[in-house]
Amino acid sequence: MATKTVTRKTSAAKSATTKKTAKTPAKKNAAKELRDLFEDGMKDIYWAEKALVKALPKMFKNATDKKLKTAIENHLMETQIHVKRLEECFKSIKKRAQAKKCDAMQGLLDEGKSIMEETKPGSVRDAGIIAVAQKVEHYEIATYGTLAAYAKILKENVCLKNFLATLNEEKKCDKLLTKVADVGLNSKAL
């Protein structure tokens, strides 16, 4: 008797899941090949990096910890280089550098703005800025890692070299932010 009850519940759960998770129809201009996905990813991160160039000075102005301010300032300079590397990648694949709004980065930047509005200047705001900055770094690490993998398969060696260089810098920035947070900043925020 118990077995039939479990079987009925499992069947009902599968049926409910199937109804809720219908396939998403593809847009007319949807990616058909890995190259399409690769180019779309480049447009997305190009927008993200350019948006970050505008957002980092706001984070800098709102940060109070000297080490955090230095990390933000240094990453702004690196981010400007990341934009140039992406432009070099577009050129190497004979495409015009084009940005496509990155919803993920927009969400992270909106979260950063909210954190700055919802915290008083000082160590609590600094801890919040670090949290958002690390989320940004993690997004960029995932994106550049994926694009590097695509570039390798597509034999886009200029892009691969640039993506790996940027990926390395993003990982270093993430480690630095962790260090800044761990070396007293989070404790001050108590």
CA distance 175 to 130: 11
Q: Are the C-beta atoms of residues 170 and 144 closer than 8 Å to each other? A: yes
CA distance 101 to 47: 6
In a domain, residue 57? The reply is yes
Integer-rounded Cα Rg, in Å, for the chain is 21
Please tell me the predicted confidence (pLDDT) of residue 12: 54
In a domain, residue 93? The reply is yes
Please tell me the predicted confidence (pLDDT) of residue 22: 77
Please tell me the predicted confidence (pLDDT) of residue 16: 54
In a domain, residue 100? The reply is yes
Please tell me the predicted confidence (pLDDT) of residue 26: 76
In a domain, residue 22? The reply is no
Please tell me the predicted confidence (pLDDT) of residue 13: 55
Q: How do the pLDDT tens digits run along the chain, 190 residues long?
A: 555 555 555 555 555 555 667 788 877 776 679 999 999 999 999 999 999 999 999 999 999 999 999 999 999 999 999 999 999 999 999 999 999 999 999 999 999 999 999 999 999 999 999 999 999 999 999 999 999 999 999 999 999 999 999 999 999 999 999 988 876 666 666 6
Q: Are the C-beta atoms of residues 174 and 90 closer than 8 Å to each other? A: no
- CA neighbor of 49 nearest in space, from 125, 147, 154: 147
In a domain, residue 167? The reply is yes
Tokens 């899941």 label which residue? 17
In a domain, residue 10? The reply is no
Q: Which domain holds residue 161?
A: 33-188
In a domain, residue 92? The reply is yes
CA distance 190 to 181: 12
> What total number of domains does the chain contain?
1
CA distance 103 to 150: 21
Both structure tokens of 96: 């015009």
Tell me the CATH number at 54: 1.20.1260.10
CA distance 178 to 167: 17
Angle at 152 between CA 146 and CA 157, to 5 degrees: 115
Q: What is the pTM of this model?
A: 0.84
In a domain, residue 19? The reply is no
